[in-house]
Structure 1
Amino acid sequence: MARISYSGIGDTLFQQLLGHNAQIQKNWNKLEQAFYQEGELDGDLKEQVRRTLAFGNGCKYCQAKGKAVLDQKDSKTSLAIGFAELFLHHRSFINQATFDVLSQEFSETEIAELCSFICFTTASQMFGAIMDLQPE
């Protein structure tokens, strides 16, 4: 059981926790849909980044789908996973050289999407962790 009751507003337990404020839940969902249904980055890349972040951010609900696959054949996905790990454990060391490496594989549009996806996903997972949201 989460730290507060579920609101009954929303399709998932996560949404039902946010559903105590319907406008926040509605807009949060819109942004999440934008990340997963739009953008330049591949869906599998984003899923591997999400899985990486889940374990670093401590959200048990988000960990339920398992860890990221580290043995990637796609160099962009490998780099994105590595960047997510750097963000989790050494974000103060992210500098221009890091972005120079990213720019060898990603366009500026993709870099902006990757960074915003990492930040949004971290916010979601931190909310799940602080609420002690457990897998269904």
Structure 2
Amino acid sequence: MTRIRPASTNVHGRAGDDRAARIADSIGAVFAHRPQAYRAYIEAEQALQASGTLSPRLVELVRLRIAFHNQCRTCMATRRAPDVVSEDLVCSLERPYEAPDLSEEERAALRFADLFAADHLSIDDAEYDKLRAFFSEAELVELGMRCAFFVGFGRLTATWDVVEDLPSSFSQQDFTAPWGHQEVVEFAPFVE
């Protein structure tokens, strides 16, 4: 059971037989304690999705890499872009700097994500200069905002322990990774 009692159920009004809907509703039911703030969070995510210029592939790779750092099992078990990020590609996140199927742009974004999640104060002028080889100033802002969402809300969700509807390999307390699991959940939580 999640560590924060749900304020309500079926927040998103989706069918209860779908695993992705149950996961979204479990998280939403906790956020329902602060519905206006939750709505603002969803709207901010939707604005990034609607106006962002970073590729869905890059965003999903960054999200999953940060989920690993956060140890957010809910985040690691879900796939927001399964049509552009295969499970083989997810497995490359174990060693992203050696993976042949990642572009230099993706490696640069993943390095930024690693630093953002684990050593943010080491992100200095030199790191931003390296990123500018691949990203515009607007894209750097978008990348930073996405990392901030993924780190902050991923860690929050991890502390809530919302794991009841996850595949069994993700629902245990052991240290885990988003790669190497037999079952994952296709998930689009902010499409309403």
- TM-score, normalised to structure 2, is 0.65
Distance 1:122 1:135, change over 3 A: farther
Computed over aligned residues only, the root mean square deviation of the Cα atoms, in angstroms, reads 1.8
> Which residue is 1:10 aligned to?
11
**How far 1:25 sits from its partner (Å)?**
1.2
Deviation for aligned residue 1:5: 2.2
Give matches, 1:49-88, under 5 Å: 49-65=62-78, 67=90, 69=92, 70=96, 71=99, 72-88=101-117
Deviation at 1:73, TM superposition (A): 3.6
CA contact (8 A) 1:48 1:81 kept: yes
Structure-2 change in CA distance of 1:25 and 1:9 (3 Å): farther
Q: Partner letter of residue 8 of structure 1?
A: T
Asked whether 1:130 is paired with 2:159, we answer: yes
Q: Is the Cα–Cα contact under 8 Å of residues 59 and 133 in structure 1 kept in the other structure?
A: no
2:46 corresponding residue in structure 1: 33
Q: Which stretches of structure 1, 4 residues or longer, exceed 4 Å deviation after superposition? A: none
Larger proportion of helix: 1
Offset, 1:68: 6.2
Q: Which amino acid aligns with 1:127?
A: L
Once the 2 structures are TM-superposed, how far is the Cα of residue 36 of structure 1 from its aligned partner?
A: 2.4
**2:121 paired residue number:** 92
Name the CA distance, whole Å, in 2 between partners of 1:9 and 1:22: 13
Cα distance in 2 for residues equivalent to 1:21 and 1:84: 28
Tell me, in whole angstroms, the C-alpha distance in 2 between the residues paired with 1:68 and 1:38. Answer: 29
Structure 1 range deviating more: 121-130 or 43-52: 121-130
SS at match of 2:11: coil
With normalisation by structure 1, the TM-score equals: 0.89
CA distance in 1 between partners of 2:11 and 2:59 (Å): 23
Q: Which residues in structure 2 correspond to 1:37-48 (within 5 Å)? A: 37-48=50-61
How many equivalent pairs are there?
A: 136
Cα separation, 1, equivalents of 2:75 and 2:152: 12
